[in-house]
Amino acid sequence: MLILASILAIFVYGMIAATLGTLLPDLSARFGLTPSQNGRIASLQAMGLFIASLVVGPVMDSHGVKTGLVIGLTLAAIALGALPRAGGFGSIAGLMFLLGWGGGTIVTGANSLASAVSESHRATTLNLVNLFFGLGGLATPLISANILKRNSARLCYLMCAITVVTLGIHIATTMPPASGAQSFVIGQAATILGKPVLFLLAFFLFLYVACEVGVWNWLAQHLIAQGIPEPRALNILSLGFAFGLLFGRVAVSPILINVPATTVLLAASVGMVVTTWLMLRTNRAAAAGVAVFLAGVSMAPVFPTTLAVVGDRFPQMASTALGIVVAAGWLGLVVSSRVIGAIAGGKTTRLRTALLVIPASALIMIGLGLAIRSVGP
């Protein structure tokens, strides 16, 4: 039941993560939203993710992971149920912030729950559970386009119903009590903040999320600028990269049974440097598709395996440590596109240069990976 609860929560979060991109075309047409307003909506959702990840960790350490998950799923259900009745930019922005808050709480809680299921196979469990994040992300646009005919109201109501069912299962499931202590203690928080490995892991995840978001947000435009037709470029991104992430998490799970998680993180970082550099060096669709798929495979284990290392290094106050590291990842979400866009200067012809930020960040991740391996808890 704990694994099922984790899977359902991660699946719901995957659907939430794809919600904004799926809904924005319809919302922009209905309410005349400008690109600037769309950007502000996305930033508010990201800030909701960031703040929730910081706040929910101490709550779960004090009151248990179930409390955090119930809160997060409730907030998400409220936001999804209210979005079809939004009246314009202000209400949409507020509801997307609330959805971000709920999503940040869900992803921290679900990974904390999965992390507690099996300490000896924590990395394997987290990679398998996070496979359903990708499935949720694929489900939202596919259902919207092929079943609901891009009806954003019906999509929101369907996602709200799935979230409410998941909430009911979480309420009925017995979950582990608060980790560490019976109440959140400031002194214990100061102790974990004094450990350098926490900040190494936080910076590592910050760079990783910046890389992944850079691919999702900018790769298609780069490929189009290289002369690849738009439909082919979008398929390379949505199928090549997404399926690379899914395949990579399935493939790495048995490897993590015998190979240390820190070794997998180091190998993944090396793979990211090579594959992301290669995907930027070709203007042929077939070669780009292969490189993008391999980049997805390389990136696949990084997020869940990093969280597994956090769980291994911080058995006490685990949710607080996890929340801090996940929050650092959301900062990567906020920063990535702004940095790449600033370097490109609004010219698609400069995207190849701007996207070199991705392999450069992965190169820094190699150094961080070596440091994480060498630094004690």
Look up the CATH number of the domain holding residue 138. 1.20.1250.20
Say which amino acid occupies 6: S
Q: Final residue of a domain: which of 168, 184, 200?
A: 184
pTM for the full predicted model = 0.78
As a whole number, mean pLDDT of residues 260-268 equals: 96
Q: What is the pLDDT of residues 54-70, one digit of tens each?
A: 888 888 878 888 999 99
- Clarify whether residues 211 and 307 are in a common domain: yes
Q: Which domain holds residue 58?
A: 2-184
Alpha helix (H) residue ranges in the chain: 2-17, 19-31, 35-63, 65-82, 89-117, 122-146, 152-172, 186-193, 196-225, 230-235, 242-258, 261-279, 285-299, 302-313, 318-344, 351-354, 357-374
- Clarify whether residues 203 and 343 are in a common domain: yes
As a whole number, mean pLDDT of residues 181-187 equals: 48
User: Is 100 a residue whose pLDDT tops 70?
Assistant: yes
CA-to-CA distance for 214 and 192, rounded, in angstroms?
31
Identify the pLDDT of residue 164: 97
Q: What is the pLDDT of residues 333-345, one digit of tens each?
A: 878 877 887 888 7
Q: Final residue of a domain: which of 184, 205, 233?
A: 184
Q: What is the pLDDT of residues 212-257, one digit of tens each?
A: 888 887 888 788 888 888 778 878 877 788 889 889 999 999 999 8
Task: Place 123 in a pLDDT band, splitting at 50, 70 and 90.
Answer: confident
Distances (CA, A) of 351 to 82, 345, 347: 38, 9, 7
Task: Place 182 in a pLDDT band, splitting at 50, 70 and 90.
Answer: very low
- Clarify whether residues 76 and 201 are in a common domain: no
As a whole number, mean pLDDT of residues 295-301 equals: 95
Region for 227 from its dihedrals, namely left if φ exceeds 0, alpha if ψ lies in -120 to 50, beta otherwise: left
Identify the pLDDT of residue 189: 56
- Clarify whether residues 100 and 118 are in a common domain: yes
The top-scoring range by mean pLDDT among 29-43, 133-147, 154-168, 343-357 is 154-168
